[in-house]
Amino acid sequence: MNRFFKNVIKYWKYAIRQAKAELKSEVADSYLNWLWWIIEPFCFMCIYTFIFTKVFPNNTPYFASFVMIGQAVWDFINRMITGSVKLIINNRDLVTKVYVPKYVLLISKSFTYLFKFCISLGIAFALMAYQHVPLTYHMLLLVPIIITMYLVSFGIGCILMHFGVTLNDLGNLTNIVMKMVFYLSGIFYNIKERLTGRAGYYLLRGNPVAFLMSELRNVCIYGKDLYLSGIIFWALIGIGLTSLGVHLIHKYENSYAKVI
Protein backbone atom coordinates (compact mmCIF):
# COMPACT_ATOMS: atom_id res chain seq x y z
CA MET A 1 0.00 0.00 0.00
CA ASN A 2 3.03 2.30 0.29
CA ARG A 3 3.13 2.53 -3.48
CA PHE A 4 -0.57 3.39 -3.52
CA PHE A 5 -0.19 6.31 -1.09
CA LYS A 6 2.89 7.60 -2.92
CA ASN A 7 1.00 7.58 -6.22
CA VAL A 8 -2.03 9.29 -4.67
CA ILE A 9 0.20 12.12 -3.40
CA LYS A 10 2.08 12.31 -6.71
CA TYR A 11 -1.03 12.43 -8.92
CA TRP A 12 -3.30 14.34 -6.53
CA LYS A 13 -3.26 17.57 -8.53
CA TYR A 14 -3.85 15.68 -11.78
CA ALA A 15 -6.94 13.99 -10.29
CA ILE A 16 -8.35 17.32 -9.10
CA ARG A 17 -7.75 19.03 -12.46
CA GLN A 18 -9.34 16.12 -14.29
CA ALA A 19 -12.38 16.21 -12.02
CA LYS A 20 -12.82 19.96 -12.52
CA ALA A 21 -12.53 19.55 -16.29
CA GLU A 22 -15.17 16.83 -16.30
CA LEU A 23 -17.59 18.87 -14.20
CA LYS A 24 -17.19 21.84 -16.55
CA SER A 25 -17.69 19.68 -19.64
CA GLU A 26 -20.93 18.22 -18.23
CA VAL A 27 -22.66 21.60 -18.27
CA ALA A 28 -20.72 23.36 -21.01
CA ASP A 29 -23.58 23.25 -23.55
CA SER A 30 -26.43 23.65 -21.06
CA TYR A 31 -28.48 26.81 -20.59
CA LEU A 32 -29.08 26.09 -16.91
CA ASN A 33 -25.42 25.16 -16.42
CA TRP A 34 -24.56 24.01 -12.89
CA LEU A 35 -28.21 24.33 -11.76
CA TRP A 36 -28.80 20.86 -13.20
CA TRP A 37 -26.75 19.42 -10.33
CA ILE A 38 -29.47 20.76 -8.01
CA ILE A 39 -32.52 20.27 -10.22
CA GLU A 40 -31.94 16.58 -10.99
CA PRO A 41 -31.74 15.19 -7.42
CA PHE A 42 -34.44 17.58 -6.21
CA CYS A 43 -36.88 16.43 -8.92
CA PHE A 44 -36.28 12.75 -8.16
CA MET A 45 -36.81 13.46 -4.48
CA CYS A 46 -40.14 15.19 -5.27
CA ILE A 47 -41.27 12.23 -7.38
CA TYR A 48 -40.41 9.65 -4.72
CA THR A 49 -41.99 11.77 -1.99
CA PHE A 50 -45.22 12.20 -3.95
CA ILE A 51 -45.52 8.49 -4.79
CA PHE A 52 -44.76 7.27 -1.30
CA THR A 53 -46.88 9.80 0.57
CA LYS A 54 -49.90 10.03 -1.75
CA VAL A 55 -49.99 6.80 -3.75
CA PHE A 56 -48.45 4.50 -1.12
CA PRO A 57 -48.87 6.39 2.16
CA ASN A 58 -46.46 5.84 5.03
CA ASN A 59 -45.86 7.41 8.44
CA THR A 60 -42.09 7.97 8.23
CA PRO A 61 -41.25 11.29 9.96
CA TYR A 62 -39.60 14.01 7.82
CA PHE A 63 -40.09 11.85 4.75
CA ALA A 64 -38.75 14.31 2.14
CA SER A 65 -35.46 14.62 4.03
CA PHE A 66 -35.47 10.85 4.55
CA VAL A 67 -35.70 10.28 0.79
CA MET A 68 -33.15 12.96 -0.09
CA ILE A 69 -30.47 11.47 2.16
CA GLY A 70 -31.17 7.99 0.82
CA GLN A 71 -30.94 9.23 -2.75
CA ALA A 72 -27.66 11.06 -2.06
CA VAL A 73 -26.04 7.90 -0.68
CA TRP A 74 -27.41 5.73 -3.48
CA ASP A 75 -26.34 8.09 -6.27
CA PHE A 76 -22.76 8.23 -5.00
CA ILE A 77 -22.32 4.48 -4.50
CA ASN A 78 -24.11 3.60 -7.73
CA ARG A 79 -22.00 6.03 -9.78
CA MET A 80 -18.78 4.79 -8.20
CA ILE A 81 -19.56 1.14 -8.87
CA THR A 82 -21.20 1.26 -12.30
CA GLY A 83 -18.86 3.97 -13.55
CA SER A 84 -15.75 1.99 -12.67
CA VAL A 85 -16.39 -1.09 -14.84
CA LYS A 86 -15.47 0.48 -18.20
CA LEU A 87 -13.28 3.24 -16.82
CA ILE A 88 -9.99 1.91 -18.19
CA ILE A 89 -11.50 1.06 -21.58
CA ASN A 90 -13.16 4.48 -21.83
CA ASN A 91 -9.76 6.08 -21.18
CA ARG A 92 -8.02 3.93 -23.79
CA ASP A 93 -5.99 6.80 -25.30
CA LEU A 94 -4.62 7.86 -21.92
CA VAL A 95 -3.89 4.31 -20.77
CA THR A 96 -1.98 3.36 -23.94
CA LYS A 97 0.07 6.54 -24.28
CA VAL A 98 0.83 7.86 -20.79
CA TYR A 99 1.47 6.07 -17.51
CA VAL A 100 -1.02 6.98 -14.85
CA PRO A 101 -1.83 4.55 -12.02
CA LYS A 102 -5.22 3.27 -13.06
CA TYR A 103 -6.88 3.81 -9.70
CA VAL A 104 -6.07 7.51 -10.09
CA LEU A 105 -8.71 7.52 -12.83
CA LEU A 106 -11.26 6.30 -10.28
CA ILE A 107 -10.05 8.79 -7.66
CA SER A 108 -10.58 11.60 -10.17
CA LYS A 109 -14.07 10.31 -10.95
CA SER A 110 -14.83 10.00 -7.26
CA PHE A 111 -14.15 13.72 -6.79
CA THR A 112 -16.92 14.56 -9.26
CA TYR A 113 -19.26 12.12 -7.52
CA LEU A 114 -18.36 13.54 -4.10
CA PHE A 115 -19.08 17.04 -5.37
CA LYS A 116 -22.56 15.96 -6.51
CA PHE A 117 -23.06 14.07 -3.25
CA CYS A 118 -22.33 17.24 -1.28
CA ILE A 119 -24.89 19.13 -3.36
CA SER A 120 -27.53 16.47 -2.67
CA LEU A 121 -26.62 16.49 1.02
CA GLY A 122 -26.95 20.29 1.02
CA ILE A 123 -30.45 19.96 -0.43
CA ALA A 124 -31.23 17.42 2.28
CA PHE A 125 -30.12 19.84 5.01
CA ALA A 126 -32.21 22.61 3.43
CA LEU A 127 -35.23 20.29 3.53
CA MET A 128 -34.45 19.40 7.11
CA ALA A 129 -34.47 23.08 8.01
CA TYR A 130 -37.77 23.53 6.13
CA GLN A 131 -39.29 20.56 7.96
CA HIS A 132 -37.96 21.84 11.31
CA VAL A 133 -35.80 18.80 12.00
CA PRO A 134 -34.16 19.36 15.43
CA LEU A 135 -30.45 20.17 15.28
CA THR A 136 -28.30 17.84 17.38
CA TYR A 137 -24.60 17.17 17.82
CA HIS A 138 -25.18 13.76 16.25
CA MET A 139 -25.03 15.41 12.82
CA LEU A 140 -21.24 15.64 13.25
CA LEU A 141 -21.14 11.84 13.16
CA LEU A 142 -21.86 11.88 9.43
CA VAL A 143 -18.10 12.19 8.78
CA PRO A 144 -17.16 8.56 9.63
CA ILE A 145 -20.22 7.38 7.71
CA ILE A 146 -19.13 9.23 4.56
CA ILE A 147 -15.55 7.94 4.94
CA THR A 148 -16.85 4.37 5.24
CA MET A 149 -19.13 4.90 2.23
CA TYR A 150 -16.15 6.08 0.18
CA LEU A 151 -13.90 3.19 1.26
CA VAL A 152 -16.47 0.52 0.41
CA SER A 153 -17.44 1.98 -2.97
CA PHE A 154 -13.83 2.75 -3.93
CA GLY A 155 -12.71 -0.77 -3.04
CA ILE A 156 -15.49 -2.37 -5.08
CA GLY A 157 -14.79 0.09 -7.89
CA CYS A 158 -11.10 -0.83 -8.07
CA ILE A 159 -11.91 -4.54 -8.30
CA LEU A 160 -14.57 -4.02 -10.98
CA MET A 161 -12.27 -1.67 -12.89
CA HIS A 162 -9.63 -4.41 -13.07
CA PHE A 163 -11.97 -7.20 -14.20
CA GLY A 164 -13.88 -4.84 -16.51
CA VAL A 165 -10.88 -4.78 -18.84
CA THR A 166 -11.28 -8.44 -19.81
CA LEU A 167 -14.89 -9.33 -18.92
CA ASN A 168 -17.11 -7.69 -21.52
CA ASP A 169 -20.37 -8.69 -19.82
CA LEU A 170 -19.38 -7.35 -16.41
CA GLY A 171 -21.02 -3.99 -17.07
CA ASN A 172 -24.41 -5.57 -17.80
CA LEU A 173 -24.13 -7.85 -14.78
CA THR A 174 -23.20 -4.92 -12.54
CA ASN A 175 -26.22 -2.92 -13.74
CA ILE A 176 -28.55 -5.82 -12.94
CA VAL A 177 -27.08 -6.30 -9.47
CA MET A 178 -27.27 -2.59 -8.72
CA LYS A 179 -30.93 -2.49 -9.75
CA MET A 180 -31.61 -5.25 -7.23
CA VAL A 181 -29.64 -3.37 -4.57
CA PHE A 182 -31.63 -0.22 -5.37
CA TYR A 183 -34.91 -1.82 -4.32
CA LEU A 184 -33.36 -3.61 -1.33
CA SER A 185 -31.72 -0.54 0.19
CA GLY A 186 -34.71 1.38 1.53
CA ILE A 187 -34.21 4.56 -0.47
CA PHE A 188 -37.90 5.42 -0.37
CA TYR A 189 -39.10 3.23 2.49
CA ASN A 190 -38.04 2.44 6.04
CA ILE A 191 -36.69 -1.12 6.18
CA LYS A 192 -37.37 -1.38 9.92
CA GLU A 193 -41.04 -0.54 9.34
CA ARG A 194 -41.59 -2.69 6.25
CA LEU A 195 -39.54 -5.74 7.21
CA THR A 196 -39.69 -7.04 10.74
CA GLY A 197 -37.70 -9.80 12.35
CA ARG A 198 -34.60 -11.37 10.86
CA ALA A 199 -35.31 -10.26 7.28
CA GLY A 200 -35.06 -6.57 8.17
CA TYR A 201 -32.13 -7.14 10.51
CA TYR A 202 -30.00 -8.99 7.98
CA LEU A 203 -30.93 -6.63 5.16
CA LEU A 204 -29.78 -3.64 7.19
CA ARG A 205 -26.61 -5.32 8.43
CA GLY A 206 -25.65 -7.26 5.29
CA ASN A 207 -26.35 -4.60 2.68
CA PRO A 208 -23.78 -1.78 3.05
CA VAL A 209 -25.92 0.64 1.04
CA ALA A 210 -28.92 0.12 3.31
CA PHE A 211 -26.76 0.24 6.42
CA LEU A 212 -25.02 3.50 5.46
CA MET A 213 -28.32 5.13 4.46
CA SER A 214 -29.88 4.13 7.76
CA GLU A 215 -26.94 5.42 9.80
CA LEU A 216 -26.80 8.73 7.95
CA ARG A 217 -30.52 9.24 8.47
CA ASN A 218 -30.27 8.30 12.13
CA VAL A 219 -27.54 10.82 12.94
CA CYS A 220 -28.81 13.65 10.73
CA ILE A 221 -32.60 13.42 11.04
CA TYR A 222 -33.43 11.42 14.14
CA GLY A 223 -30.57 12.44 16.45
CA LYS A 224 -29.45 8.89 17.24
CA ASP A 225 -26.00 7.65 18.18
CA LEU A 226 -23.77 6.00 15.63
CA TYR A 227 -23.79 2.20 15.44
CA LEU A 228 -20.03 2.20 15.92
CA SER A 229 -19.33 -1.51 15.61
CA GLY A 230 -21.20 -1.61 12.30
CA ILE A 231 -19.28 1.37 10.95
CA ILE A 232 -15.97 -0.17 12.01
CA PHE A 233 -16.93 -3.48 10.41
CA TRP A 234 -17.81 -1.92 7.03
CA ALA A 235 -14.80 0.42 7.16
CA LEU A 236 -12.54 -2.61 7.59
CA ILE A 237 -14.34 -4.34 4.73
CA GLY A 238 -13.77 -1.23 2.62
CA ILE A 239 -10.06 -1.18 3.49
CA GLY A 240 -9.79 -4.86 2.61
CA LEU A 241 -11.57 -4.38 -0.73
CA THR A 242 -9.40 -1.37 -1.52
CA SER A 243 -6.23 -3.30 -0.70
CA LEU A 244 -7.33 -6.16 -2.95
CA GLY A 245 -8.30 -3.85 -5.80
CA VAL A 246 -5.07 -1.86 -5.62
CA HIS A 247 -3.04 -5.09 -5.51
CA LEU A 248 -4.77 -6.41 -8.64
CA ILE A 249 -4.18 -3.14 -10.50
CA HIS A 250 -0.52 -2.96 -9.52
CA LYS A 251 -0.01 -6.56 -10.60
CA TYR A 252 -1.76 -6.42 -13.97
CA GLU A 253 -1.85 -2.78 -15.07
CA ASN A 254 1.04 -3.26 -17.53
CA SER A 255 -1.10 -5.73 -19.46
CA TYR A 256 -4.17 -3.48 -19.76
CA ALA A 257 -2.86 -1.63 -22.81
CA LYS A 258 -2.38 -4.93 -24.67
CA VAL A 259 -5.91 -6.10 -23.89
CA ILE A 260 -7.75 -2.94 -24.86
CA 154 to CA 148: how far, in whole Å?
Answer: 10
Instruction: Give the chain's largest Cα–Cα span.
Output: 57
Which stretches of the chain score pLDDT less than 50? none
Distance from C-alpha of 61 to C-alpha of 249, rounded to nearest angstrom: 45
CA angle 164, 169, 173 (to 5 degrees): 95
Long-range contact set of residues 133-138: C-beta below 8 Å, sequence gap at least 24: 133/62, 133/65, 133/220, 133/221, 134/223, 136/223, 138/218, 138/219, 138/220, 138/223, 138/224, 138/225, 138/226
- pTM exceeds 0.75, yes or no: yes
Per-residue model confidence (pLDDT) at position 257: 74
The per-residue pLDDT for 38 is 80
R_g over Cα of the chain: 19
Q: Enumerate the domain spans of the chain.
A: 2-259
Q: CA 91, 94, 98: angle at the middle one, nearest 5?
A: 155
Residue among 253, 98, 85, 78 nearest 170 (CA): 85
Q: Which of 96, 97, 100, 103 is nearest to 260 (CA)?
A: 96
pLDDT of residue 55: 60
Helix H or strand E encompassing 142: helix 142-163
